[in-house]
Every structure is written in structure tokens, then in C-alpha cells.
Amino acid sequence: MSIPVVSLEPIIRASANADETVATDLKAALGSWGAFELVDHGVPVATIEGAFAAANTFFRLPVEERMKVRIDRHNRGYAPLHQTVYPGNLPDLKESFNVGTRLTADDPDVKAGKPLHGVNQWPESADFRTAVETYFDAMMALGDRLLGPLALCLGLSPSALRARYRKPVAFMRLFHYPPNSNVAQNEFGAAEHKDYGFLTILAQDSTGGLEVRSPAGELVAAPPRRNNFIVNAGDMLSEITAGRIRSAPHRVINRAGIGRYSIPFFYDPDFDARFDSMPEFSAGEFLLAKFNKFYKYRKELSEPAA
């Protein structure tokens, strides 16, 4: 079995009925696997390579330099090893640098202290920031290209879904996975889990290690093709479709003996966006509950100082 492939070529070429054409393949992939390999996506290779080079540079910094931009309560900055914990497993063997939707200190939601709305933190390197922001902007544009066909899969008009993405809760994480040697004791790069939100758009290096659980229950290696993306649905998208879209279980084991790098981009609706099929939570409240449950740093930040 292999992960299905979806091409965005009709949208990139602005073909007639492009959203409808892509939606046919998208609906089949999301309803079965909950994940697919995205090709013909329109993101320049140089932009992808620049982001990986930036990640490699950052994680080679001394840990005390990385800790100068330690992750804050708005999910921005450096998260050290062992910050994500899933039941029955040791903490994940990965570290990350997190970037969110580009906001300024004058933004009304930032000034109001709205959860997950903050100003990005940056190490001192201007080249790092430029490369990462260029990639983030490309991912925002790619996410928007996916909204048209995704809306049709949800029975919405593209404009109705985009109205819930005027100020998306978007996060990108530059991940570094050290070599994994303790799997027998349930230590993974990322223990098997499902993502929390709508869509995750993942770039991988050539190391490999991502495995997606198939509809038949088998763990299948996701092809580590650096210039394509693996896209998967998360729990929120599955929730609002009553399970018609599958939230894809997946895990990471870095067996390569060298560091592995990947860059997931999480593209979720506005914090206050609501869906008729999930009336008890806004999109942001749903995400925040997941973050608080699984991210160790969230608990540390909420504890009073000694």
C-alpha cells in the first residue's frame, strides 16, 4: 500500500473548474488515508532548500543560544527535547523552533493577550529569519490554494471557508530529530499520534522515518521526497465532518544514524471561527485544549514561579 498522490497542477495553471478537479482526488485521499503526497504545488525548490538550511544552522547553535528564544505561551520560539508526551510513551525525541502567523506588538489580539496570538521570537541571524519567513509565506499561499478544493469536500463554498481563514492560527515548526536508539523502551522521534487541527503540510529531508497508518491499519513509510509535501488531516477536520475525513495516525522513528530535519506547517482557521457541526468550541479553543494536554512546556508556563 502507498500513500495517495494529489496534484495541484489544475490550480497552479488556473484551469477551468480547477477546485472541482482537485477536490475529487482530495476527497478520496482524505476519506481513506487522511493523508496524501502533494505534487505540482507551486512552491519554489529554492524556498524549501532555504528553510532546511536555516533549520540546520539553528540546531547547530550552542544550546544556550537556542534557549535565548525559548518557547513562550503563544507557542513561538525554541522547544527543547522531550516537550511532547503521548500516553504510554517516553517524551518525544525531537526539538523544534516554532513560528506563528506574523503579528506585531500593536496587533489588537496581541495587545489583548489572546491565546496563541503573539510576536515571533528570532535568533540574532537575519539570514535565518529571512529564509524562515520566506518559507512561511509560501506555506500560507499554498494553504490558501488548498482551501478551495477542501471547501468543496466539506460541502462549503470556497468563500465560506476562506471567511474562516481571515487571520488563521498558522504555526510552523522546524524539527530536529536526533538518531533514535531506544524504540524498545517506547521512545520515538514522535510517538504515534494524530495532529490536532485542520491540515498539516510537511516537508521532509531525505533521511526518512515518517510512517503513516493506512486504512488497513498498517504503518507505511511516507516517501521522503524533499521537493514534495506530505499533507494530513487532523482531529478538528475529522470532528467537524463526523469522521468522514480521517485524522491520520502517524509516527517518526529516525533510524538513519544522523540527524533528521522536517518542517510541518499547521494551517488552521481563525481562533474564533466556528462550524455548525462543532458548536461547543471555536477552532482556537479546540487547538488550545490539545496543546495544553500534550505539550509539557504549556504546563511549565502555567505553574507559578518558585
Helix (H, G, I), strand (E, B) or coil at 95: strand
Residues 292 and 29: their CA atoms lie apart, in Å, by 30
* CATH classification of the domain holding 199: 2.60.120.330
Instruction: Provide the whole-model pTM.
Output: 0.95
Bridge partners of 36?
A: 231
* Confidence at residue 35, expressed as pLDDT on a 0 to 100 scale: 98
Looking at the DSSP bridge assignments, the partners of residue 255 are: none
Task: Report whether pLDDT(1) > 90.
Answer: no
Give tens-digit pLDDT for 287-305: 999 988 888 777 676 544 4
Rounded average pLDDT over 239-258? 95
Q: Which of 297, 283, 281 is nearest to 85 (CA)?
A: 297
Q: What is the pLDDT of residues 179-213, one digit of tens each?
A: 987 887 889 999 999 999 999 999 999 999 999 99
pLDDT per residue as tens digits for the range 154-171: 999 999 999 999 999 999
State the total domains in the chain.
1
The pLDDT, as a whole number, for residue 301 is: 66
pLDDT of residue 304: 43
Indicate the pLDDT class of residue 250, thresholds 50, 70 and 90: very high
For 182, the grid coordinates are 531506544
* Domain ranges, residue 187: 5-302
